Each structure stands twice: as structure tokens, then as C-alpha cells.
Structure 1
């Protein structure tokens, strides 16, 4: 019998390449404790990811149609719609069974969509990875969204804030990915999200002239909105100025709205095997996301490879105070066009931007720094 601590890891999805933060945290736990992972499998991709996980893994099937039905019923209550969607009966039973049979010393919950299962673990010590303050995202959607999205934001923002408050009151340790979210809260720990490692590094000699790159899930509302705004407002300015730029859009889950953006200078690529190849061959990486919480993975990946980057002020502020020195920041179409034109027109500017981005990444996302932060967060629950 192992004398290591026993930890129950509970997630409303499957940690893997598509969810690198969850995977990194699970692996960190497995290095220091005996872990049972309870994960919700929603589709065949999730099932494949679950099969790749090491150790004691219990995969519970979640059904989207049932999730939609639960969320619909939650409209009549004060429950978070996201939490209701994920609250599969089989998962609740798996949590109860594991608490009884696995007998964990502590429980680690992954993202707010697992918060509804907190009451099932009794008074066991709890660490909770919020990652981001999701209620702030829905507040932004409520203020700036369009159509049904704005309506959902108005409903979900206060419900999610209430769910987060319950987590903060219950958990001995709360993990977040952005320094913006730590403030002076004693139980909060900044644990940066490390992207999936890639061997590729940006180099001027390999960059494709005029290539702008956007990477992200192309069915995610914030990314879709960002791309539509960029193509509508920034690309015409670049064309009018005669800047030879082509936007290359990379990512899974290509939505019909994104597909409609295709043009001679807008290329829809879809999913790729390694986004590092894309970052390494781009002249400039763009992060025009205007609805965001936490730290954008696309910003971390881009600066990690060393690609010259332009991002919204919101994304840069969420990444931390020193991040403003790592890339160009822009909000208005004019600012975006100015920075892109300057970077595409100067080798020296691109190389300086690449170097500053890499310095920031190494200072904040080096494995040792992240692992130290994880250790401090887990020490709070004696894991």
C-alpha cells in the first residue's frame, strides 16, 4: 500500500492536448500523490484523449442532449447554466463512489463547471482550479454581445459569480491563471498555464513575408467575434495602404461564420498537427480578442515561439504588468494597421519583438516557475 497522499481529480471534460492546463495540473498531481481522475467524456475525441491518460482514470459518459435539457431546466432556477449542463447523474454517482471507495485525502476540482459537485465530497480538503473568473467573461458578453449571446450573458454572469463565491468560500486553495485575478486574496495562487511544448522557434529567415496568423478554436464565440471584427475593420485598412498582408486562420471547430470570412487575402486553414509550425512561419501573430478573461493561450503560445505579436490591451493587461513590454498593443483599427505595417516593413522591428516576447515567456512560463507555483497551491491542502 502506498504511503503517498491520495487525491481525487474531478473534471467536467478530459485533460489533453486541447486542454493543456488541465493535463499539466493532472500530471503535477500524479507526480506527488496517488491520483484517481474522474473525467466527463462528451464525444469520440474526448474518448480518445481519455485513453491516452496514464494512471487510475474513470471516464464517465456525458450526453450533450441531456446537458442541453438540464441547462434549459436551470433557466427556471438560479443555477449556473454551464454547471447544469455538466451535471450528469452518472458523474455525481462516480464522485460519491470514489469518495467512498478510493478514500481520498483531498479533492482537486478542475474549472467552475465542476463546482456543483463540491457538496458531494463532505469536509475533505479541496483545491480548486478556477483558471479564470468566468463570470467576468459573461459580464463582458452581457455588455457587448449580440442577439442570444447577450441574453445568455445577462443570465449567466450573476449565476456564475454566485457559483464562484461558493468555491472561494469552500476551497482551501484556489488556482487562477492571471495575475489580474489574484488581488490580495489569501487562498488564491497564481499558476500560469503552460502550452503544449513545441520544438519550433521563430526565425526571420523562415518567416513567410506578409503572413498574419490567428490561432484559436474557431467555433468559440469570442474568437469568431474577434476574427469578424479584424477582417471587417483592419484588413481593409491594410489593403488601402498597399500593405501586402495575408491573414492565415488556424484552429479546430471551424464555424460557418468563420468560413464566410475566406477571401484572396484571408485563408481558412482549420486544425493542424502542431501550431508551433504556424507560429514559426508567420511574420506577425495577431490576437484581436476583445472578450476575454484569464490569459489567452494563443498569446502565450505566440510569445513562447517568439513570433512578433500584436494583441488587444485587454489580453495584454490580463497577462500581467510586464506583458506590455513583450508585444505591441492595439484596440482601434488604426492602431492595429499601424503596428502591423511597421512590423511587416522592418526586419529590425520583427526581431526586437521576437526577442522581447521570448524574454517575457521565459520569465513567466519556465517549467520551474510554474511547477513551484503548483507546489505552493497544493501545499495548502497538504498534497
Structure 2
């Protein structure tokens, strides 16, 4: 098999959060077709336990520690250099040295960088086919964060949005193909970087539909008999998720419990931020923290919610709930880029108290099992990892400067 360099900003194992789910499945696909040389960072010391699995899968691995404090100090150098702070955050001399040595010693003709910050390690020219999986338009995410924070963080986030977009455009200009997680995300970047529009493409996420299957979840569930539960799942140290659950608990849950006494709000996810943990003191709220298996918490929920007000890309939490045949009430931001039919496969509600209350309360009053079944059918049709990742091979087989002839996923999302 040919050699390939794969650079990932966070160790792609285990697949326990959004970006790691995508990078993990990409690695498994790559290992079936290439001798993979993996360069990555470990930002959670517990993840070092998974290095043997990576070393068994790859031809070589360089996994560098990324303590948060050290990364923050490196990022501050961007204020002096004029760079986007995200770039020096992931700058490491040892990883750069390993990349240079790997390219010198191995016949590597293809490289895939997962996230724009990892593209800083790729040399230009030399016959190397460069593909960058941006996943999301991260610059736009920082711009969305800015209005939610007070000065000076609001100013720093606006600066990061501007500087990161400039960097993303430079990366795309130097790459043979730039990939994004959905057609909507790809369209957003084309609008902001029209000079590279012909080299911007969508590569849909997938779901392990056999793992996230109602038939694979044991009964009984984790909830008390007869209790109706509204569930949110996700990494609970991630600001958009934190913002979503606090907003729901503040502005929707009190009225919902008046209309439906006894309804419980369950927040499922690792590393809950202090302000999330504080919600557990309120009546009707449970914060689980890390759970060994998220599936029972979702599969036995009465309804799953995704009231995200800040979002980019495709939300794996929504896809996983759909795969488990659960009804999902989600904001337009959480549904952006999905091909789900609104009203038939998911329920869309604006992240506005009255609208979201009406949607969740309406489902609790009149549950519709057909909604969940239709949601799983949509996942099986459009979000199969093997089928979607087959298109990745088309991009990696590019000759420098070439582009595929067709978009690999549907251009339009139903019911957006």
C-alpha cells in the first residue's frame, strides 16, 4: 500500500466526541488503503492508554502531549505575531521534526490534515498531494462566540474570527482539496473564500448505525419507571453545549414542568463545566457527567433536544439520537447541513423560549413513534460511514492541482 501522512489535532481514539468521531472513522478508512503515518496531540492524559491501538493500526505514530496551560501560553504568542491564536496553540517543534523526518524517509505522496491548524506542518510543493479536512468553518464559530461574551473576550473572539479566516483562506489556497462536513458548511466557506471555490467540497459525516441501534441497547433504561425525560447529550465542557443547556434550564424547563409535572431534564456528557454542574441543584435536573455507554440514556429518553444557539457543521449528537430512533427537537443551528425532513424525521424549533417550549410540550402531549422510525431510516440512507468515506479516496488520489468532477454528497438539505 502507498504511504500517507495523517495529521490530527486531537488523538483520534476513542471516538467519544464530535471531532474525534470523524477523525477516528477516517483513520480506520485510511488504514484499509494506505500505510498511515499519524501525527497527533494528546490533550487528555487518559487517552494515552489508546496508543497501542493506534500503533497497531498505523505504520508509525507521533503523539505529542498538549497540556492546556502550555497550549494557552503558546497561543498568546499569536497576539504578538498577528496570527490567529488557534495556530500556535497546535505548534510543536518535535511534531514538526517528526513530519520532516517522515517525509524524508518514507515515500509519502499524499497528506491529509484534519483541522486547519494541522496544515501548518505540511510543506508546499514537492509533488505532495495536500488535502485538508477543515470539518467546520471554525473562523465563523469564533465570530458567533463574540456577542455571547463580555469585553475583553468578545474583542479577542472577533479578532480570532478575522485572523483565522485569513489563515483558512491561505491553507485552502495551498491545498489540492478542502473538505467540510456538509454541503452547507462548504457553501459558507466558498462564499468567504471565492478564490478557491472550485477546490472546496463536502464530505458527509456518518453514524455507526449498528452500534447506535435500538436493538443494541439493553432494557431497562437508566430512568425510573414512568418518568418522562428530556435529554441533551454532548461534551459538557464545550461552550455551545454549555450555553444550550443553561438556556433551556433557564428559559424553557420551568414552564415545561408546569405543563408536564414530573418531567426530568437529563444532561449526559463528560467533563461538565461548573455552571452545568450547578444546574443539578435545580428541581428536575440531572447532570450525569461521564457515562460508560451513552446509548441507554438516549434510547430510553422520551425526547432528545438540541437547543444550540451557536453551531457549525453537523451535530453528531443529533445523528446518534436519530439512529437510535428517538424523536429530536432541535434548533435550526443544530440541524444545519442535515438532510433530515423537518416535521417528518425531526422537529425544528427556534431557540426562542416560546417556540421551543411549544415544540417539546407538543411532543410530550402527543408522542409520535413514527418520527423516530423515520429518523433512523434517514440515517441509514444518508449517513453510512463506509459509503461517505469512499469519496475521501477520490480526493486523496488527486494529482496536485486536480479536483474531482462531482460533489460527493447531496448539495441541498431537506427542510433546512
Q: TM-score, normalised by structure 1?
A: 0.91
Mapped partners of 2:124, 2:94: distance in 1: 13
In structure 2, the partner of 1:230 is 248
> Conserved in 1, the CA contact under 8 Å of 2:182 and 2:314?
yes
In structure 2, the partner of 1:25 is 26
Q: Give the 3 Å change call, closer, same or farther, for CA 212–66 of structure 1 in structure 2.
A: same
Structure 2 gaps of 5+ residues are 191-196, 401-416
Q: Which secondary structure state, in structure 2, belongs to the residue aligned with residue 76 of structure 1? A: helix
The more displaced of 331-340 and 363-372 is 363-372
In structure 2, the partner of 1:11 is 8
The more displaced of 134-143 and 46-55 is 46-55
Mapped partners of 1:25, 1:213: distance in 2: 29
1:149 CA displacement: 4.2
Q: Which secondary structure state, in structure 1, belongs to the residue aligned with residue 311 of structure 2? A: coil
Mapped partners of 1:328, 1:372: distance in 2: 31
Q: Which secondary structure state, in structure 2, belongs to the residue aligned with residue 319 of structure 1? A: coil
Query: Cα deviation per residue 1:226-258 (whole Å; 9 max; x = unaligned)?
Result: 111110000011123244321111111111110
> Conserved in 2, the CA contact under 8 Å of 1:13 and 1:46?
no
1:195 CA displacement: 4.0
Mapped partners of 2:84, 2:336: distance in 1: 27
Mapped partners of 2:10, 2:270: distance in 1: 17
Q: Give the 3 Å change call, closer, same or farther, for CA 171–323 of structure 1 in structure 2.
A: farther
The more displaced of 359-368 and 335-344 is 359-368
1:91 CA displacement: 1.2
In structure 1, the partner of 2:360 is 340
In structure 1, the partner of 2:85 is 81
What RMSD in Å do the two structures reach over aligned CA positions? 2.4
1:381 CA displacement: 5.1
Query: Cα deviation per residue 1:136-171 (whole Å; 9 max; x = unaligned)?
Result: 101111234345542331121011101210121111
1:302 CA displacement: 1.0
Q: Give the 3 Å change call, closer, same or farther, for CA 323–88 of structure 1 in structure 2.
A: farther
Q: Give the 3 Å change call, closer, same or farther, for CA 338–318 of structure 1 in structure 2.
A: same
1:341 CA displacement: 1.4
> Conserved in 1, the CA contact under 8 Å of 2:321 and 2:328?
yes
Q: Which secondary structure state, in structure 2, belongs to the residue aligned with residue 292 of structure 1? A: coil
Mapped partners of 2:92, 2:30: distance in 1: 25
Mapped partners of 1:206, 1:373: distance in 2: 40
> Conserved in 2, the CA contact under 8 Å of 1:141 and 1:149?
no
1:63 CA displacement: 3.7
Mapped partners of 2:173, 2:342: distance in 1: 31
Mapped partners of 2:150, 2:339: distance in 1: 29
> Conserved in 2, the CA contact under 8 Å of 1:190 and 1:373?
no
Mapped partners of 1:150, 1:25: distance in 2: 34
Q: Which secondary structure state, in structure 2, belongs to the residue aligned with residue 6 of structure 1? A: strand
